[in-house]
Structure 1
Amino acid sequence: MPEESSPPVLYGVPHSLYTGKARSYLRNQGIAYIERPPSHPEFATHIAPRLGRSIIPVLQTPDGAIVQDTIDIIDHFEHRGAPYPVYPATPLQRVLAVIIEYFGCQAMRKHAMHYRWSYLERQRAFMWHAFASGAGPAVAEKVMGRMNAYLPMLGVNDETVPHIERSFETLLDTLDAHFAVMPYLLGGRPSIADYGLIAPLFAHLGRDPVPAQIMKTRAPRVHRWVERMNAPGLDVVEYPDSTPAFVADDAIPASLEPFLTYMAEDMFPELADKLAFFDEWVAAQEPADSTPVADKPHRRQLGAVHTAYRGVPIEVGAEPYLLYVLQRAVDTLDGLSDAEARRVRGELRRRGLERAVPTGRDYRVGRSDNIEVWRRDRAS
């Protein structure tokens, strides 16, 4: 990777789900950086005005460019040549890695936010310290109240909580068994899938006292993976025969299969119902190419979707950003020969995951000036 005149600056906080994803990448890749909280005066005077909203994480490059989204932050360095590239070169692994990234960064917000806010009284001192350190005592209570209010639109309620907690336990059990075999999800180095999962499994579920204790006692190998993902370089001391490569021949580790089965059960029908909502919304509204997906920069949801989680009816917010996450899987499939595309689709179908790749649509979500926008030309 080319030398920089000065290190980039990452604006974020320790308890932020998405900051954790970006920070993990920078540390694993050995990229020097400076981290500052959004309470830093530079954020208010130079960063937020350029974004049109206050949001983290944000990367400021040495030449002054602003990169806001975690996908864009990671891809910024991937395009420059990272020591351990995160996108597998083979199509099935690449598509599955993006789907797992979606699951961690989007679907697992239920788990992350439930354990953080439903157990607030048992971990209030810890959460107060986190939010006061990141934003200052004057605004900590306000921010905490706003975050707590997000639970209903994530589908977290009295009926779903038992299912969310059983889901977390199943996730821990399946991943713990996998990490008994290899250090990362697809082999000897982290993929974009690992960075998707570290987002909730570090900032919320691996730090907040209640879920962290569950993780440590039920799944020590998962907790060790959380440590590994926050270490510089590849921290694989327990795997003396590991090499920094993905599993060969586009194979999926047999030890990962129970987790993939669990993931498919957990993300549907919600993901399919959200995609159907976007189809109907775009058909009715016919947004022009390059128009923002929402009327205000800080607004992420287009409306509410009636769906179900583990058989329990729920109503959740629909954020077009999920299309931005998954479209890299779409692009991978679209770039394959017919025979290869059939093979990959068959492997996805066998695992119940074919519907997680939203192919065949005449629209997508892109980003312009760090804002999500509609793209009607799928090649753009």
Structure 2
Amino acid sequence: MARQDTIKLQGIHGSPYTRKMLAVLRFRRLPYRFIVNWPQSPDAPGNGEGRSALPTPKVPLLPTVYLKDEAGELQAVTDTTPIIRRLESQFRTRSIVPDNPVLAFLNYVLEDYADEWLTRCMFHYRWHFAADIEKAGRVLPLYVRVNQSPEMLDAVSAAFTRRQVDRLHVVGSNETTAPVIEASYVRFLKLMESHLQAHPFLLGGRPASADFAMMGQLTCLTHFDPTPMRLCETLAPRVYAWVERLDDLSGYEVQEQGWLDAGDALPETLLALLGEVARTHMPQLIANGRAVIGKNETFSTQIDGCDWVQPSFSYQLKCLRWTREEFQSLSSKDQASARAILDKTGLSRLIDAQLATD
């Protein structure tokens, strides 16, 4: 893709993954056009030729990014983590993946935690508590068409809210898991607040893709949904400010050597965040993987000493396998360094746990 090409991205402001990708494009100073629209909707006002002139993704998700393939044909792609790596291979300036392989692996682990665990927190708080349901149900449908009539908004809001609340169980939010999710969000806020006291970003003096993944989910949790936003304002003012700051870092100048030195001892605050991944995200990833391989529709496990039960989800087995592939791609020396960190933070089972017949 030539530098002058404009990247088209379709999404809405209330989507955490849309916000993640927009912030990445701004920081990397890549030209883009933001098409505000839901994936299932007809072309929205103000989009010019709109989506009718663009390819259709295999699965309609937010955001959809339109990139040219090797033959120069436009493709519709929807998974932010591989999209970010694809852009990394095309543009090296202002990279958001550390050049040190061990740090790059830790960045991948933290990005997956944000995309796949913090999103549970986001969806739970948004569609579990009455005040949050009311706000999201009435505001989110307006992002594409703000001039809907009151009657249309009432109908759209009711249908949208019902659909989202009915999906709570899919992401693992239910009466059994709610206390686990809420306790994990509070811990994360405190851990991130502590880390930001000494470091502007997760991995040093420049943002990584994991920063933008966390920021994406937190745009909802800390800046839109009332219940988790109050918690952040009370417990983690640095996190609140950090999220707004990351939204547009186009003017932030980075040093090429701005990453943490992987040869030195990593900050205890970063190790504590990795420990949180081991405490919450890792157990359900492994249990889910075993359930999917065993063709079980649901799975149960223990997270932080509490029961966890939810439907199994094949995509998260892919996430676990991709993480393991990232580890296997490291040299023997880097694997040994990464394994020492995994052992220290309780994350070794993320790589080593058997998945039954896998």
Does the alignment reach a TM-score above 0.5? yes
Runs (4 or more) in structure 1 with deviation over 4 Å come to 241-244, 358-364
Answer yes or no: is the 8 Å Cα contact 1:98–1:328 preserved in 2. Answer: no
* Residues 1:182 and 2:185 are matched in the alignment: no
Match of 2:13 in 1: 14
* Residues 1:206 and 2:223 are matched in the alignment: yes
Q: 1:108/1:243 Cα in 2 relative to 1: closer, same or farther (>3 Å)?
A: same
Q: How does 1:200-349 map to 2 (within 5 A)?
A: 200-233=217-250, 235=252, 245-251=258-264, 252-281=266-295, 303-349=297-343
Answer yes or no: is the 8 Å Cα contact 2:7–2:65 preserved in 1. Answer: yes
Match of 1:60 in 2: 66
Match of 1:285 in 2: none
* Residues 1:32 and 2:31 are matched in the alignment: yes
Structure 2 distance, partners of 1:353, 1:104, is 16
Number of aligned residue pairs: 338
Q: 1:22/1:272 Cα in 2 relative to 1: closer, same or farther (>3 Å)?
A: same
Answer yes or no: is the 8 Å Cα contact 2:28–2:93 preserved in 1. Answer: yes
Secondary structure of 1:60 counterpart:
strand
Secondary structure of 1:357 counterpart:
helix
Answer yes or no: is the 8 Å Cα contact 2:286–2:353 preserved in 1. Answer: no
Q: What are the ranges of 5 or more consecutive residues in structure 1 without an aligned counterpart?
A: 282-301, 365-380
* Residues 1:173 and 2:190 are matched in the alignment: yes
TM-score with structure 1 setting the length: 0.78
Answer yes or no: is the 8 Å Cα contact 1:15–1:203 preserved in 2. Answer: yes
Answer yes or no: is the 8 Å Cα contact 2:193–2:237 preserved in 1. Answer: yes
Deviations 1:149-184 (Å, cap 9, x if unpaired)?
A: 122233322343233222211111110111111111
Tell me how far 1:314 sits from its aligned partner. Answer: 3.0
TM-score with structure 2 setting the length: 0.82
* Residues 1:91 and 2:101 are matched in the alignment: yes
Alignment RMSD (CA, Å): 3.1
Secondary structure of 2:56 counterpart:
helix
Answer yes or no: is the 8 Å Cα contact 2:137–2:160 preserved in 1. Answer: no
Match of 1:108 in 2: 118
* Residues 1:3 and 2:14 are matched in the alignment: no
Match of 2:46 in 1: none
Tell me how far 1:21 sits from its aligned partner. Answer: 1.5
User: Which residue identity does 2:52 align to in structure 1?
Assistant: T
Match of 1:295 in 2: none
Q: 1:333/1:64 Cα in 2 relative to 1: closer, same or farther (>3 Å)?
A: closer
Answer yes or no: is the 8 Å Cα contact 2:4–2:31 preserved in 1. Answer: no
Tell me how far 1:108 sits from its aligned partner. Answer: 1.9
Q: What are the ranges of 5 or more consecutive residues in structure 2 without an aligned counterpart?
A: 44-48
Match of 1:351 in 2: 345
Work out the percentage of aligned pairs sharing the same amino acid: 24
Tell me how far 1:100 sits from its aligned partner. Answer: 1.0
Per mean C-alpha deviation after superposition, the further-off stretch among 59-68 and 109-118 is: 59-68
Deviations 1:291-312 (Å, cap 9, x if unpaired)?
A: xxxxxxxxxxx83222233333
